[in-house]
Structure 1
Amino acid sequence: MARTVAHVIVNALEELGVQHVFGVVGDALNPLTEAIRTSATLTWVGCRHEEAAAFAAGAQAQLSGTLGVCMGTVGPGSVHLLNGLYDAAKTRAPVLAVCGQVPLAEIGSDYFQEVDNDLLFRDVAVHRATVTSPDQMPRMMESAVRAAVTQGGVAVLTVPGDLGDRELSEDRPARFALDRAVTRPDDPALAEAAALLNAASRVTLLVGAGARDARTEVLRTAERLASPMVLTLKAKEGFEDDNAFQVGQTGLIGNPAAAHALESGDVLLMLGTDFPYREWYPQDVKVVQIDSREDHLGRRTPVDVGLAGDAGATLRALLPLLEQVADREHLDDARERFVHWQEGQRRLADPAHDRRRTGRARAALDNPDHLIRPEALAAAVDAHAADDAVFTSDTGMATVWLSRLVTMRGSRRLIGSYNLGSMANAMPQAIGAQLWSPERQTVAFCGDGGLSMLLGDLMTIKTYALPVKLVVFDNHRLGMVKLEQEQVGLPEFGTELDNPDFAAVARALGIEGIRVTDPADLDDAVRQAFSTPGPVLLDVLTNPEEVAVPGRPTLAQGWGFAVAKIKEML
């Protein structure tokens, strides 16, 4: 008996080892969800919003390096996938979105709920196609998966509602050839890069997620060149732990040591990073960049030598050409500055900070109500979370505190919307992460604004009994927007949030909820959250006036902040 279109798709996903499909059921998807229902290895995860489904699928793709899958039914159901799919696209996570469509004969007639999916997903997808005949399968499935995996992006396959249960006249199994080539630059280019690096006296490394699989080679390079290593946020995972060269992050979330390491070098070596903020790159330095994508070379800052290739393969070929640097002053100075900055962060993260003399003076200005400092919450989570925990974080101040106070030690993992910068990503990404590895602890750093956007998918966590720990930085603010307004001299406007008691909301949904308002109760509350079986929402009232000082504060920012505060008082 010939298989149906739906069974070709589901059997192909089974063959690829996909375990979860995220989405919201709907009529055009009925043949597909029925085929999933009868599958021995695939599980349908019914979300409350398709955006959450796309974020969850993207999270699994990022963590596993393999295909994530979500589905949206005809029209609005597919439209709702867009934000999560854009996040996957910007992260280069391989995701397949299977979308429903109106009956084949009605396409183009402005039918009820009809949306042109091929046009809708044109910008977000590396591949998009609409099935118009059963006999196009499984070729169309193969093309979609191959594009998503080999190009690192989103593929959208649209299936009209009346085609899913139609049989193929001639059947064959899907075949997938998905191996990627590992390349390195040619020898003359490597020699040119080595000559530039060997002539330098102070080399600084800027390391991104594209070099994570080359940790050994990156550390050997830092040792050979006696170089401080500035990490992008996505490189915290893999390079932060047990690394005597790293000096943290740069940019608005960064620290003075990293900024100084970049500015005081005479050569910048960029490894697997497309760090987008041009104003944070050093000026008047030579630049060597290694990246697997040739189109990334030189697009953020002018590059003197660009090496297109895999970071590990390229460094293995480059290292024999590099001379050992004996003078460690550049590295030691950066590390000393970094350790000093870390000590200050730890003092601020102490829940008793505001009761000490210097703390009382600061609190009178920025925390008169003695709310919990977000640094203290992040530090407490870092102390109590497992060494193999998976962390997700909402865009904004929650990510700032995670960046500064949480260490990616052991086998911890970290994902977030770090390229798209979406709100509301942490909780749905935690759903995908927890299902990807049920035995590992999953911790979501949620902003109160982000959590409330997709609050309904707390019910998904409850339905599937996912032991996610949701840590809510509840400052009743869109904190990053507030900071952005104030640093340019504007009084905060539109950022205040009239929040419910999120812990009570969680309890009403059948999830354990813990609310913390007193700094003295913080550590015990975090310990309780992590020791409680099942899902827990930890709602912590944090100080809305907390300022994350950037690594290189400017006079204009300080003046703007002062002007904003005067305007707010008036």
Structure 2
Amino acid sequence: MVKTMTAKSPLVPPPSPRFVTVAEAIVEQLQLWGVTRIYGVVGDAIFGLMDALAKQEQITFIAVKHESVAAMMASAEAKLTGRLGVCAAQMGPGLANLLNGLGDAFLDKAPVLAISGQAPLDKIGTSYKQFINQQQMVKAISSYSELIAHPDAILKSLAQAMRTSVLQKTVSHLSVPTDVFALPTMMKPFEKLPLSTPFVDSPQFEQALQIIQAAKQPVMLVGSRVRIQAETLQALAEAWGCGIVMSYGAKGIVSNSHPYMLDGLGEGGNPFVGELFKHADTVLTIDTAWWPEDLVPLKARVVQIANDPMELEVSVSMDAGLVGDSASIVAKLLSGLKQHVPNPDWIQQIKQCQQAWFAQNESERNQISSPLHPASIIKAIEQQIAEDTVITLDVGDSMHWFLRNFQAKRQHVLLSERWLTMGFGLPAALAAKLISPEKQVVCITGDGGLEMVMADLLTAVRYNLQITVIVFNNGALQMERDKMFMKGLQPEGTKLTNPDFAKVAEACGWNSFRIETLEQLEAALQQSLSANKPVLLDVLTANIPHPDFKMIVKGG
């Protein structure tokens, strides 16, 4: 037998091992998950990460003046988009400064990832400068926090951190030793998995639908995290015959012009809705765990819709709970109400409540004075801005006047809802303009709130962010002052020493106006909303106690 000789196939060499640095791997993983911005302040413990960011173009590092602003911007991005917000900082004091913004994200259930540097591996646990156990530091305001001790652990931990943040709507944190950033790893990035929470039909749905169909005096309580089209919520209200009540901070989700819209509940809300709400026999809460104890309905049955089962029965006992995508659940409920006949007597009460508040609101908003009445400032803003404006609110008296007197169309309102940190307004406006450069972005802040973050006026100029900041300048921490008077206390520490805000803004590269009359405010608003640079309006505001703080002020 003759053997036939065949040519041997050339040997194909195995692929070369893939080596990237830990910093490069982090950036690749973030890119794969759609991250386009990281907010932060540079420090030597994150030099490796900064170098990796500088060598690519998909992710932009937004350099701010203080780490608290970076974390608040990440939180605002997460609230506005529903996507992961990311911030980064130096070890020790850098991470400590992030904590305020991370607290905001944690309590408001915004998905945020924080990356901090850490001491070199051989210095962890020693008296090395700035070293502290960072996992213990962030424990109270995060759901995941790990120290990376080996380069091949980085991508597994990073993917777990991102999944935790997005699925649980929470804060995650990674500490990366400064020398680990430069170490090589062969690990490959993890693909982004589907992270939506589908609605699964269940016996609970039939129970919930029966409760809803049986209602005679229903109310819908809408949360600020709702991601449902306003038209769908309005259709549900009309089919069910319910009043639409906004939980704290949910203004703008449904237009105030809708005939069943009753505005907010509690401080800064419709003062007439509390009494109506108490007489509801059924309350449907959508993506909110907020439940003001002094306004609880006397005998209402409660149906809750939540994206996360951990949000059920946080503040109130429920009769039925539905977990999943709220838009899908509401659509199915709407389908189940096709044959429902609303109660005309209850609808009449809803409309009477709305009309009473509209008349009082207009009376408050039409007051003319100098310094300007806070409600008249809000009306002027409302009349000048676009219907799709993003409005960011700082915490304080200005926020309460806005929530009370602004008649929303379809504006998107961002605020620090449960953490309630002063200083939130400006960082949120900066983030909103980066996300939606085509939209008007207006920040409403008090003088005290702006003073906490005033250095980041420079950030707006650095990134050419054409926002409008309106400062309620009354020379005081007005809300704290009035609440102390209300409690019979002397308001120590509430008087402010203010700069000339217009001159400060001008020195930072802004257009600025000092406002003393309503005519000046209206003209300045018209100019500011079409300006080619950021604009600050320093509005001299009357020291008028907010109507929710019922007391006689005895003092200046």
What's the TM-score once normalised by structure 2's chain length?
0.92
- Match of 1:290, as an amino acid? I
The residue aligned with 2:387 is 387
- The 1:286–1:136 alpha-carbon spacing in structure 2 relative to 1, beyond 3 Å, is closer
User: Structure 2 CA distance, aligned partners of 1:434 and 1:148?
Assistant: 23
1:196 alignment counterpart: 211
Per mean C-alpha deviation after superposition, the further-off stretch among 391-400 and 136-145 is 136-145
Alignment equivalent of 2:261, drawn from 240, 243, 246: 246
Tell me, yes or no, if the aligned pair for 1:448 and 1:476 is still in contact at 8 Å. Answer: yes
> Which SS does the other structure have where 2:329 is aligned?
helix
Give unmatched runs, 5+ long, in structure 2.
1-17
Deviation at 1:106, TM superposition (A): 0.2
Equivalent residue pairs, number: 538
Structure 1 match to 2:340: 324
Distance 2:305 2:353 in 1: 27
Residues 1:186 and 2:190 aligned together: no
In the other structure, the counterpart of 1:289 is 304
The counterpart of 1:548, out of the listed 531, 546, 549, is 546
| Cα deviation 1:405-440 (Å, max 9, x = unaligned) | 334424x32211012111101001111111112222
Aligned ranges for residues 59-138 of structure 1 at < 5 Å?
Answer: 59-138=76-155
* Inter-CA distance 349–215: structure 2 relative to 1 (3 Å threshold): closer
Residue 472 of structure 1: aligned partner: 471
Change (3 A) 1:136 1:305: closer
Task: Give the direction of change, closer, same or farther, for the CA distance of 1:471–1:90 in structure 2 (3 Å limit).
Answer: same
Look up the match of 1:450. Answer: 449
Equivalent-residue separation in structure 1 for 2:493 and 2:327 (angstroms): 47
Aligned-pair CA distance for 1:448: 0.8
What CA distance in whole angstroms lies between the structure 1 residues aligned with 2:133 and 2:73?
24
Partners in 1 of 2:489 and 2:291 — Cα distance?
Answer: 25
Q: Which residue of 2 aligns with 1:333?
A: 349
% same residue: 30
Equivalent position of 2:61 in the other structure: 44
Change over 3 Å in CA distance of 1:326–1:318 after alignment to 2:
closer
Structure 1: runs of 5 or more not aligned: 355-366, 551-556
Partner of 2:397 in structure 1?
A: 397
Does structure 2 conserve the Cα–Cα contact (< 8 Å) formed by 1:230 and 1:261?
Answer: no
| Aligned-pair Cα RMSD in Å | 2.1
Partner of 2:250: 235
Which amino acid in structure 2 is aligned with residue 342 of structure 1? Answer: F
Partner of 2:484: 485
Partner SS for 2:353? helix
Contact 2:108/2:418 (<8 A) preserved: yes
Q: Which stretch has the larger CA shift, 126-135 or 336-345?
A: 336-345
Give the match's secondary structure for 2:215.
coil
Question: Secondary structure of 1:206's match?
Answer: strand
- In structure 2, the CA distance between the partners of 1:166 and 1:190, relative to structure 1 (3 Å rule), is closer
Deviates more, 1:267-276 or 1:315-324: 315-324
Query: Structure 1, residues 22-59: CA drift from partner, whole Å, max 9, x if none?
Result: 11111111111111111122211111100001111111
Between Structure 1 and Structure 2, the one with more helix by share is 1
Tell me the residue number matched to 1:33.
50
Report the alpha carbon displacement of residue 262 of structure 1 after superposing the two structures with TM. Answer: 0.2
| Offset at residue 184 of structure 1 (A) | 4.1
Asked if 2 retains the 8 angstrom alpha-carbon contact of 1:184 and 1:314, the reply is: no
- Secondary structure in 1 aligned to 2:305? strand
Which residue of 2 is the match for residue 494 of structure 1?
A: 493
Which residue matches 2:458?
459
Secondary structure of the corresponding residue to residue 212 of structure 1: coil
Instruction: Describe the superposition over 1:2-35 as per-residue Cα deviations: whole angstroms up to 9, x where unpaired.
Output: 1100000111222222221111111111111111
Q: CA contact under 8 A between 2:372 and 2:516: conserved in structure 1?
A: yes
CA contact (8 A) 1:514 1:529 kept: no
* 1:267 Cα offset (Å): 2.3
Choose the corresponding residue for 2:323, options 289, 305, 308: 308
SS in 1 for 2:182: coil
Mapped partners of 2:481, 2:358: distance in 1: 25
Rounded Cα–Cα distance in structure 1 between residues aligned with 2:320 and 2:272: 26
Name the amino acid aligned to 2:545: V
SS at match of 2:371: coil
Q: Whose Rg is larger?
A: 2
Q: Encode CA deviations 1:127-172: one digit per residue, 9 max, x unaligned.
A: 111111112232222112111111111111111111111111x242
- The answer as to whether partners of 2:217 and 2:343 remain within 8 angstroms in 1 is no
Aligned-partner Cα distance in 2 for 1:193–1:92: 25
**Residues 271-286 of structure 1: pairs in structure 2 closer than 5 A:** 271-286=286-301
1:222 alignment counterpart: 237
242-251 or 191-200, which deviates more:
191-200
Equivalent residue in structure 2 for 1:172, among 188, 192, 196: 188
Q: CA deviation at 1:450?
A: 0.7
Asked whether the equivalents of residues 392 and 444 of structure 2 are also in contact (C-alpha less than 8 Å), the reply is yes
Question: Relative to 1, partners in 2 of residues 1:326 and 1:7: Cα closer, same or farther, differing over 3 Å?
Answer: closer
Distance 2:464 2:225 in 1: 34
1:301 counterpart SS class? coil
Cα distance in 1 for residues equivalent to 2:153 and 2:180: 11
Normalising to structure 1: TM-score of the pair?
0.89
* Distance change >3 Å, CA 307–CA 119, structure 1 → 2: same
1:200 Cα deviation (Å)? 3.3
* Residue 372 (1) aligns with residue 372 (2): yes
